[in-house]
Amino acid sequence: MEWISIEKSELIYLGVTTLTALLLLFILPALIHRWENIKLQRIRKLKRFAAVRTRAPVLGQTKTAREAAVESVGGRFSIIRKIVTALIVLIWFIMVAFPFIGMVPRTMISVVISAIGVIVGIAARPFIENLIGGIIISFSKLFRLGDTVIIDDKYGTIEDITMTHTVVKLWDWRRYIVPNSTMLSKEVVNFSLYDSYVWAHVEFFVSWNTDLEIVKAICIELAGELMSKNAHEEPRFWVMGMEKESVECWIAAWTDSADDAWRFRVEIREKMIARLQAVGIKPNLTVLEWEKEGAPRSGGRRN
């Protein structure tokens, strides 16, 4: 019976490789667990999971969404830990077997590698792409649970990030599902990446004969009532354009979040219309005014 002789250098190589693998098995899961706790703490502090505040038909919707997010993060990081452990063991096995690979026929090695390549390339490519995308999203700050975003012109919040896809809860409560590999290649507006403040503005048009000082005073007063209490800057009024028949104006103010910015725009429009009408200020001729006067719906100009 022949015994395979192992040289001292090979024993040292085997010991170093095994020790390195054991250290990685302890260190990497600990780092992943720490990162998981950071994300869980942030989720528990979130007060809502909706792009627009509404009276949800689901009782305790925020609590339910927070619990689902916590469960999702726990499950996602559990899968990541298992993947990392499996990769470390696989790499260790390959490194241990590397010195003895010369004993295996090259033909057999080529066949095994080719078969694995074909299986991975054809069957598992979409899954692996989305899996890698999910890991990248989990460890980056590109998108986080509860972030308010605009993606593909759709406005909503990140409700869930799984290992293969991301779920965006739209403002009207529909769910927009995007594969993680696609999510990484999309252009996304993130309202919550570093802070949640939004410089919200509303644009409108008035006639040339309108007293802009009165319009400015009304707009700034209304914006001051609706803007964020944490703002360190007063509302701003700008004349942004001078068209042939009208003057384009903007009123802008700081808001605490994208949700507050949406509310600000809706409420200030309503209040501005009422206040401007009360002081006798009317906008320039519009299609609506032409329709009142009996003009055709095409909006063509009257001679």
What are the tens digits of pLDDT across the range 120-136? 677 677 878 888 888 88
Residue 299: the pLDDT is: 39
User: CA neighbours within 13 Å on the CB side: how many for 289?
Assistant: 7
CATH numbers and ranges of domains, the chain: 1-194 (no CATH), 198-291 (3.30.70.100)
Pairing of strands 154-161, 165-170: antiparallel
pLDDT for 20 beyond 50: yes
Q: Looking at 78-87, 94-103, 113-122, 169-178, which range is the least confident one? A: 94-103
pTM to 2 decimal places: 0.63
- Give residues with Cβ within 8 angstroms of 24, minimum separation 6: 88
Q: In the structure encoding, which two tokens stand for residue 254, read together?
A: 């700081």
Compute CA distances 60 → 47, 55, 131, 266, whole Å: 12, 10, 32, 26
Higher-scoring residue by pLDDT: 300, 206: 206
What are the tens digits of pLDDT across the range 118-175? 776 776 778 788 888 888 887 777 888 888 899 998 999 888 888 888 899 898 888 9
Q: How far apart are CA 204 and CA 250, in angstroms?
A: 7
Residue 222 burial (10 A CB sphere; 0-12, 13-18, 19+):
buried
Average pLDDT, the chain: 78
CB 176 within 8 A of CB 154: yes
Residue 213: the pLDDT is: 92
